[in-house]
Amino acid sequence: MSQPSAPPQILPPEAVRLIDGQYADRPHLRPILDAVLAALPPLGAVTVEARNTLVSLVTPRRTFAVVQATTKNRVDLGLRLEGPQVPAPGGRLLPAKNLGAATVRIALTEPAELDDEALGWLRLAYEQNTAPPPPRRKPAPRPKPEPTPLAVVIEAYGLPGRSFCAGPDAPHFWNVHLALRGTSKDRPGLTVPGHPWRAIEPVPGDATSARWEVEVTIRRGADGLDFGGPFVRGDRTDRHLALAWGDVSADGMFRLFRGAKLRLLDLDPGVVEQALRPGARLVVGIRFTDVHGRPIRPAEVTWAVGHA
């Protein structure tokens, strides 16, 4: 129930009933709540919301404090305080637990403890939660992409075979394929259950090699190069191309069980600049087994600048 703050004796009947219930078995603590309510008018507009277990104090913007008879010998004045003006909890400012929006609390065992220091923190909480929030900063405009995309060729060697089993208790896959992860619908691919991307141009796992060609968008910003396009995955800190191992079932679905990242952010920017020159391209080589057919873990990845 809500109403403008006022001395406790003129609180509406429902608020009085709720507060009486809070202090029924601890009447000696009720004067502490009364002292807090009496301190509100000088702050400004405050709404007092009486609930079953606590009293919330609300500015025109949001809750700034709560008063709760936490134990039979203590009332907690919870305050919503943030920012450099507020020291880390210690001394009279204690960590707040289960006090709604409060970040710190002041333990009060008698009205006299609501002294100038405590009232100063109450006033600061009111001011912080009355002021409008700072305007949101608009993100810097994203740089425009380079007019010519980066041509990338991915070449995979030493594919380990058509069947795979990770261990005696693991499932066995009999129709293993290697594919490029991507969201492009212009290239042939298979649906991957549970994933938004597709397995682009899958190649049987017993093929001699596999090859994909893609275009990657390049943007130049103050923090360096960024990469994009339907085959680039990951957020700004983890841009990469990706290959996926999966079992192609009879229904034509690609059941993913393993993947490999080709991290674009690991590239030397100078190599990217060379690969952007007319007639050049970036060639990514990934090898999964050695000359004896033994798995290489992690797979061996090389980057080089090639020419069309």
Which of 286 and 170 is assigned the larger pLDDT? 286
Distance CA(164)–CA(14), nearest Å, equals: 70
- For the cut 90, the answer to whether the pLDDT of residue 282 exceeds it is yes
Q: Tens digit of pLDDT for each residue in 53-77?
A: 999 999 999 999 999 999 999 999 9
Q: Average pLDDT over the chain, rounded to whole?
A: 91
Q: Residue 105, exposed/middle/buried by CB under 10 A (0-12, 13-18, 19+)?
A: buried
The residue with greater pLDDT, 12 or 155, is 155
- Is-contact 197 179, C-beta < 8 A? no
For the beta carbon of residue 255, count every other beta carbon within 10 angstroms. Answer: 20
User: Which of 244, 232, 164 has its CA nearest to residue 199?
Assistant: 244
Kindly report the number of other CB atoms within 10 A of residue 117's CB atom: 13
Instruction: Reply yes or no on whether the pLDDT at 189 is more than 90.
Output: yes
Q: 69-86: buried (b, 16+ CB within 10 Å) or exposed (e) per residue?
A: bbeeeebbbbbbbeeeeb
Residue 192, both tokens: 């991957």
Q: Give residue 91's pLDDT.
A: 82
- C-alpha to C-alpha distances, 20 to 12, 14, 270, nearest whole angstrom: 12, 10, 74
Using a cut of 0.85, tell me whether the model's pTM lies above it.
no
pLDDT band at residue 138, thresholds of 50, 70 and 90? confident
